[in-house]
Chains A and B, each alone.
Chain A
Amino acid sequence: MGSTRSHLRLGRKEAAFPALGKGCGVYRDRQCCFPEVTADTAEVSYLPVSAPGAGQDVGRSCILVSIAGKNVMLDCGMHMGYNDDRRFPDFSYITQNGRLTDFLDCVIISHFHLDHCGALPYFSEMVGYDGPIYMTHPTKAICPILLEDYRKITVDKKGETNFFTSQMIKDCMKKVVAVHLHQTVQVDEELEIKAYYAGHVLGAAMFQIKVGCESVVYTGDYNMTPDRHLGAAWIDKCRPDLLITESTYATTIRDSKRCRERDFLKKVHETVERGGKVLIPVFALGRAQELCILLETFWERMNLKAPIYFSTGLTEKANHYYKLFITWTNQKIRKTFVQRNMFEFKHIKAFDRAFADNPGPMVVFATPGMLHAGQSLQIFRKWAGNEKNMVIMPGYCVQGTVGHKILSGQRKLEMEGRQILEVKMQVEYMSFSAHADAKGIMQLIRQAEPRNVLLVHGEAKKMEFLKQKIEQEFHVSCYMPANGETTTIFTNPSIPVDISLGLLKRETAIGLLPDVKKPKLMHGTLMMKDNSFRLVSPEQALKELGLAEHQLRFTCRVHIQDPRKEHETVLRVYNHLKGVLKDYSVQHLPDGSITVESILIQATAHSEDQGTKVLLVSWTYQDEELGSYLTSLLKKGLPQSTA
């Protein structure tokens, strides 16, 4: 019979004795570079960073995760700071030979911000991917609108070619499968994903990716405190092997929301009072709605007359989306929406380009939020020269954008055509963008209880601080891969097998009360056949294989000096054993034999020597310890003082 001993390596996919403890690799794209990966990679591979000067920054999100042989791409963002090839991830790094569709099992988009979905049509239609793309319903609804808007700015206004077309956006969206919150989506037989509410923007979700008992949670951007229109992110104690969390505000512990709101209103109010104009660059969906609700109620309360405008285009549509997807907003808005729709504003009117030159105070919300193009940039150029005016940046700005430049103190900007724009207006930054702060990130880790944490979407220094804090407080490994670097995390999953109910019941019946000091051993046979694992009793294993049990029995002769009659000797032996083996069942049978559990002892007189008795001790292999112990005990003779 085959005696090849090998360590048991159990797994789900492979046959025979496959590798256990598969790595769960996370491949993080930072700038332009995807690491090259194969499905079974379980080694750490460091890949070169091709973009010069690339640091950890809040650029675009595009992460490749390989878990138990499944490859999932998380988000497909574009970089707002670039206008060339660098704005899209270099997908050729995923796989150089072969189609993306064959390599990726699915793509997940966390929310509709372009730094998370902006490269999607390029990826699916121009590079070529036909597999499933998952996102929530609101994301599916809003994403194509923003993509089209972005395309228009890039192609129609800037005249760029080699860009995706309207038709490509449509075709791309056809590949999207919308998911419900908490719905378990079976991507294939082994891979399942589940969305959790993330706050941040309408429809934003965190995703759990699970294969067997290994799992990864990807947060996308999230917000742990409810705001004026959205609720707080929430996840259950799903104990993933790895939590990939954004860390945009890794070091910030933001002051209370109320303070920030008061501050914002004060600044707007003061500027308007002194006849200045306020520009608030926003993205059409998200923060804009929260700030509109804030200003609307303030105007109402203070009875202010200065006009508030919202730059045209998406406004009305955006509010419509909020109305139709009201179940994704916060408790308060959902509760009152029948009586009063929070997204129908009385004081906020549509903006016309001509209004920018109107005299007198006004407040204008204009897109896009980072002042890198479009209407907000146009208005900014008009108003920048007047110190009475103010621009309030309510969110994060990516490096390279005008927003980022003025926030870092630059007051002379080189515009197109070498023209220099001098910024005299006041520049204010208000952190209204709904990312989790350090406190929030810690809170989420506490909720999900991951075994490892990986920080992305943040700046290196800040991430380092947070990493230390996480490792201190939760005693889990925390990673912050550099650009294009691959992180491999080894998981050590336990192996699920089927145990026969008979065996399990037998075991649980014996030890109802678990004794910590003396753990009960259970004995069974693991049968492995066609990748199925079953734990059965040894008897059942024999029976199923059609094999008979081979009984191995031992009988030892023990000589005892005792002149008494046989039955008296037996009685002495019986009393002796009963005294010693208090925990065992020792019985004296009518036929003159003694049993200790299943071990049989019989006495006969020695054929030659009447003073010696021969004890035959007989036991099976299964009772070997006790049998062997008994013979050595009896060999020592009987105690003298036995009545």
Chain B
Amino acid sequence: MKLHYCLSGHPTLPCNVLKFKSTTIMLDCGLDMTSTLNFLPLPLVQSPRLSKLPGWVLKDGSTFLDKELKECSGHVFVDSVPEFCLPETELLDLSTVDVILISNYHCMMALPYITEYTGFTGTVYATEPTVQIGRLLMEELVNSIERVPKAQSASMWKNKEVQRLLPVPLKDAVEVSMWRKCYTMPEVNAALSKIQLVGYSQKIELFGAVQVTPLSSGYALGSSNWIIQSHYEKVSYVSGSSLLTTHPQPMDQASLKNSDVLILTGLTQIPTANPDGMVGEFCSNLAMTVRNGGNVLVPCYPSGVIYDLLECLYQYIDSAGLSNVPFYFISPVANSSLEFSQIFAEWLCHNKQTKVYLPEPPFPHAELIQTNKLKHYPSIHGDFSNDFKQPCVVFTGHPSLRFGDVVHFMELWGKSSLNTVIFTEPDFSYLDALAPYQPLAMKCVYCPIDTRLNFIQVSKLLKEVQPLHVVCPEQYTQPPPTQSHRTDLMIDCQPPPMSYRRAEVLTLPYKRRYEKIEIMPELADSLVPLEIKPGISLATVSAVLHTKDNKHVLQLPPKPPQPPASKKRKRVNDDVPECKALKPLLSGSIPVDQFVQTLEKHGFSDVKVEDTAKGHIVLLQEAETLIQIEEDSTHIICDNDEPLRVKLRDLVLKFLQKF
């Protein structure tokens, strides 16, 4: 039986567990960070505006929460260190998880919570770019939260009784008691040390029972889909895949064919936006703002879409007359991210790969850096404050606008309508992200770039790879809540997909009927095949079954040991047959005439045949023996004359086939 446990309710940040042939496999370890939108931003520099926000007062006038909750333009925020919504940890004992398969660097952010707090002792598998860039994302996250120490840690509002009284969205927030503060760097390092690196199309054996294989998914550097299979069952785990041509290696679709079950997660979060159109809009908005003397702020992750944006700008800058405008990339891992992007040639699309053969860096941002058009800094402090010139374009994190250097720029530029903030990351609702900064004068442009599969591509993919069953988050089985008429924005396949939601367990349909077994060469040599029908041959096999490490082997039975001579006297009672010797089944029928002839040939002279309703009775008068022969049975009835019985048996067997 195969079970599927859903531990995360976020369809693009999944965390599922699959029980498959006695192994327990966790698929991704996504961390839902939308919870941070309920918190006040962490300013790098003391912000008078934020510190002056009024405390929240209940309708009845009680003020006991005014230290924990602050109000800003009609929204209520928790004034505390931001917290994240973890995957479900109670649904099953996570210490029993044998392996964790990571599909891309965005889907591993909860890893330290799982590997360091649940008694996990297994192995994590991920590609090298996934690990390196995942480490950068975690480093940035830890850094941007730890460098703004906050004395206060609010917990009163989490009390169930209190939460009921709060305004939306805090009132409806799920599992707030499970929300956790960010992990620390030692925990990150401990978690990452449990990862084993894998390459695309590498076959990894788990306990001899299951084979897992990562396949290129086309979404990000080193991003993978996974095949989980035994000899007879194949489960494909598709998570965060893209069919668009960007920097990563293209998606491997062919290997997903013939799946019994296809688990489909990580589709685009903005199914109505065309990424190409968005990039165009991004460039034109950027250019317009800068030409008008304003600054552009691009909240972003330190890796991923930013590489594509920089590449677009590289081609666009000169034609748009932006050659003199400085581009700043600010992140504690900015330098590392830019450097790392250049060394993963093997994981890049063909065009970029060929550049490395020249040898040239695969991404043109190397040239932007060389020509001083793009500058990167670990933070706004230090060198940056000396070099800083306006108008400029700043890429910095975090896209939630709750922590990181972006908070400073929002405070700095928010008051002027000349400036623009352009949202490109699709993970957070931009209105929610902006809420604690309201009222804002700066322009806000929403150009979400999500290259993951849209529903048209999904239905094409499913037609192509033809899985027997599709399993997906419930969100994909109905139109988006805001566009309930768009029935095209859901998965449409036959049979309809099985859907899951957070904390739900599914039993996957599929029953295997065969298992692999190996016949040792000595045994194979001893087998005697017989052609039963044209093209079909049979051989009866009596062999010893050995099972080790989930692998089955058939060997020749050992030769029976010679009974010791001294025991001869006691034979009477010792001779009880030890193990049931296995006799084959018989099939066929006995032609009476030929049988009688055979009997006569073997010295039975007084054979008499009588017809019965169902067949014949053959009488051997002298031996007082009778043989009933029917279509599907033969019955030999005789006196206790063992030699005679054995002789008759052998004559009968001549006419029958053994199985």
Contacts and interface: CB of A to CB of B under 8 A. Distances in A.
A180 interface: yes
B519 A636 contact: no
A539 B517 CA distance: 19
B652 A552 contact: yes
A626 interface: yes
A518 B577 CA distance: 13
Contact of A628 (B540, B541, B642): B642
Chain A interface size, as a band, is 35 or more
A132 interface: no
Contact of A538 (B199, B585, B588): B585
A7 B538 contact: no
A140 B356 CA distance: 10
A141 B198 CA distance: 22
A520 B636 CA distance: 31
Interface in B4-59: none
Interface stretch (A320-328, A364-372, A479-487): A320-328
Interface string B498-539: 000000000000001111111111001111111111011111
A203 B345 CA distance: 13
Nearest to A6: B529
Interface string B170-206: 0000000000000000000000000000111111000
Contacts of B335: 338
Q: Chain A interface secondary structure, helix, strand, loop or mixed?
A: mixed
A581 interface: yes
Nearest to A633: B572
Given A141-B356, A636-B572, A1 B541 contact: no
DSSP class of B's interface residues: helix, strand, loop or mixed? mixed
B201 A549 contact: no
Contacts of A528: 529, 536-539
B538 A508 contact: no
Interface string A134-153: 00010011001000000000
B579 A518 contact: yes
A519 B542 CA distance: 12
B61 interface: no
Contact of B346 (A1, A2, A180): A180
B600 interface: no
B576 A529 contact: no
Contact of A522 (B202, B545, B633, B652): B545
B632 interface: yes
B567 interface: no
B527 A8 contact: yes
Contacts of A9: 524
Contact of B544 (A494, A497, A520, A636): A520
B104 to A, nearest CB: 17
B584 to A, nearest CB: 6
A529 B534 CA distance: 9
Interface stretch (B151-159, B439-447, B456-464, B552-560): B552-560
B84 to A, nearest CB: 27
Nearest to A7: B525
B340 interface: yes
A168 B552 CA distance: 51
B527 A526 contact: yes
A553 B633 contact: yes
A590 B578 CA distance: 29
Given A17-B529, A20-B521, A521 B557 contact: yes
Nearest to B255: A186
Contacts of A495: 518-519, 521, 524
Contacts of A534: 514
B565 interface: no
Interface stretch (A41-49, A408-416, A459-467, A555-563): A555-563
A182 B540 contact: no
Contacts of A526: 519, 527, 529, 538-541
A196 B240 CA distance: 29
Contacts of A357: none
A502 to B, nearest CB: 8
A545 interface: yes
Interface in A532-573: 534-535, 538-539, 541-542, 545, 547-559
Contacts of A542: 585, 587, 659
Contacts of A632: 640, 642
Contacts of A8: 524-529, 539
B576 A583 contact: yes
Given A7-B525, A140-B357, A554-B636, A500 B513 contact: yes
A448 interface: no
Contacts of B524: 8-10, 20, 494-495
Q: Indicate the member of B203, B520, B530, B585 with the most A CB atoms within 10 Å.
A: B585
Contact of A494 (B345, B518, B639): B518
Contacts of A511: 545
A507 interface: yes
A497 B516 CA distance: 6
Given A519-B557, A535-B541, A324 B199 contact: no
Given A325-B343, A628-B645, 16 more contacts: A5-B530, A213-B518, A324-B345, A501-B512, A504-B517, A504-B552, A511-B545, A518-B579, A519-B557, A521-B579, A528-B539, A529-B535, A541-B538, A552-B635, A632-B642, A636-B572
Interface of A: 1-10, 16-17, 20-21, 137, 140-141, 144, 178, 180-185, 194, 213, 317, 320-321, 323-327, 337-338, 492-502, 504, 507-508, 511, 514, 518-530, 534-535, 538-539, 541-542, 545, 547-559, 580-581, 583, 617, 621-626, 628-629, 631-632, 635-636
26 contacts: A4-B531, A7-B525, A7-B527, A8-B524, A8-B525, A8-B526, A20-B525, A180-B201, A323-B343, A324-B362, A325-B343, A494-B521, A501-B513, A508-B545, A521-B543, A521-B581, A523-B584, A527-B536, A549-B585, A550-B588, A551-B633, A552-B586, A552-B633, A558-B640, A580-B573, A629-B576
